[in-house]
Amino acid sequence: MMMKKLVVFLLLLVLQVPGVAHGRCFCQVTGELDDCACDVETIDGFNNEQLFPKLQTLLESDYFRFYKVNLNKPCPFWTAGSHCGLRDCAVKPCSPNEVPEGIRSSPHHKYSAAANEEQLVACEKEKHLGAVDVSLSQETREALLDWSKHDDEAERFCVVDDEESPDSQYVDLLLNPERYTGYKGPEAWRIWTSIYEENCFKLFTIERPLIPDSYQGGSGSEARLFYSWLEGQCVEKRAFYRLISGLHASINVHLSAQYLLDDSWYQRKWGHNISEFRRRFDSDLTAGEGPKRLRNLYFLYLIELRALAKVLPFFKQSSFQLYTGRPEEDHKHKELLLDILQLARSFPLHFDETSLFAGDDKEAAKLKEDIRLAFLNISKIMDCVGCFKCRLWGKLQTQGLGTALKILFSERQIEALPQSRERRPSFQLSRQEVVSLLNAFGRISTSIKELKTFRSLLAEER
């Protein structure tokens, strides 16, 4: 009996040794990533030393800090409760005079005020060239408009009605940072359960190894069965699951890095909570899932980085401007944006998207549509998040990832972008998509940077 107690004591002691915890959190988070030619160390060096500082400067600019969002949409899938009573769940919208005039006055523009004028000229030329259109019946004209709308919607991976909704408001992202709010428990877990169980192509008979709150033990057979099933999926569906898992991991890194450490009458202090990080990523405390989640975060980084590299021709167009109404600042920030995109393109070990949808054209088209609709559904689930601040950042990050997928699936359209202003662009992004794309990648980039901090903090406790 005494021997048994001694063994248990020694086991508990080992589990509390900081150096061991450090190893468990980051075990297997090294070397090459699955389905990629890249490695973790290359990403760390590139992001932390080169890209992260420039990206943070850009995201502090007026064009990227103001995001338009409707936080009052009802959940379309179930009756959702609200945690808006929690102090840290609140979101403070901007008053009209806080938003730059250039952004506020042109909520629906694709590029800028100047670009709109160019587009009107182009449309007038098209009207003259296609004068036969005046002979079309009203019914045919309406049908053509419907087809055009359908073509635009067919490219979308997210619901974008926030841009036009009268209930939408601008939010200053710098004044409403993503951090731990206290939103947790069954309601929060229901969001992720719906995402994983209903939208990641998983069979209901396959148990996923994602344990809410804390790991309570188990044989590990569920995890083995799950990963056996996952490895048997096509690379596209496997990648889709890893993107969602990576997004989940990134959000958890943010919450652990911006945790409410002190809530007293004289101060509120936010910072790194090492225990919370361990709870979410320690191998032993998550049945081996923690390191896998972090590797999926790196996979997500590669996908969004590749999208930034691929979309460079769109942003290089003279018609695209970061229009806020302050010409000198707008020009400076566009130059910084192009510098960041050029840097993204220079990354030596990009994800090879040609490995996706490389089979039969008909089957590939169906698979693309299945993935688009699955992600579209995930973007709708964000309106079921009870905490307003969590909903804000959830909507932004899903829209950013959806925009990245739209870019990767639109390579031919981007390559065919008109060199002449007289042609209608074959690929477009709204301001909402541009802002969410860069801010979502900014969140992923921040997560990678925070992992370096957590490594150091855990190592110091040895």
- DSSP string over 239-277: HHHHHHHHHHHHHHHHHHHSEEEEE-SS-EEEE--HHHH
What is the average per-residue pLDDT within 110-134?
40
H or E element: which one contains 301?
helix 289-310
* Of 438, 304, 399, 443, residue with least CA distance to 69: 399
* Predicted local confidence at residue 213, as pLDDT: 44
Q: Find the angle CA(190)-CA(191)-CA(193) to the nearest 5 degrees.
A: 60
The residues, any chain, with a CB within 8 Å of residue 261's CB and separated by 6 or more, are: 269, 270, 271, 273
Are the beta carbons of 253 and 451 closer than 8 angstroms? yes
Q: Is 66 helix (H, G, I), strand (E, B) or coil?
A: strand
* Predicted local confidence at residue 46, as pLDDT: 95
* Cα separation of the two ends of the chain: 31
H or E element: which one contains 153?
helix 138-153
- How many Å apart are CA 377 and CA 201, to the nearest integer? 12
Q: What's the length of the chain?
A: 462
Q: Is 306 helix (H, G, I), strand (E, B) or coil?
A: helix
Are the beta carbons of 380 and 159 closer than 8 angstroms? yes
Q: Give the tens place of pLDDT for each residue, 367-377.
A: 888 888 999 99
Any idea of the CA torsion for 11, 17, 19, 24, to the nearest 10 degrees?
Answer: 50
Tokens of 356: 């996706």
Q: Give the tens place of pLDDT for each residue, 23-48.
A: 677 777 777 777 676 788 999 999 99
Q: Which of 1-10, 65-74, 89-98, 189-198 has the lowest mean pLDDT?
A: 1-10
**pLDDT above 70: residue 15:** no
Q: Which of 6-10, 247-251, 323-327, 443-447 has the lowest mean pLDDT?
A: 6-10
Q: Give the tens place of pLDDT for each residue, 395-451.
A: 999 999 999 999 988 888 888 886 645 466 678 899 999 999 999 999 999 999 999
* Predicted local confidence at residue 66, as pLDDT: 95
Where does the pLDDT of residue 16 fall: very low under 50, low under 70, confident under 90, or very high at 90 and above?
Answer: very low
Label residue 275 exposed, middle or buried (CB < 10 Å: 0-12, 13-18, 19+).
exposed
Confidence (pTM):
0.84
Tokens of 49: 């030393």
Other C-beta atoms closer than 10 Å to the C-beta of 192 total 16
Tokens of 89: 């769940």
* Predicted local confidence at residue 417, as pLDDT: 82
% of the chain at pLDDT higher than 70: 77
What is the average per-residue pLDDT within 185-210?
85
**pLDDT above 90: residue 343:** yes
Task: Choose between 105 and 115: higher pLDDT.
Answer: 105
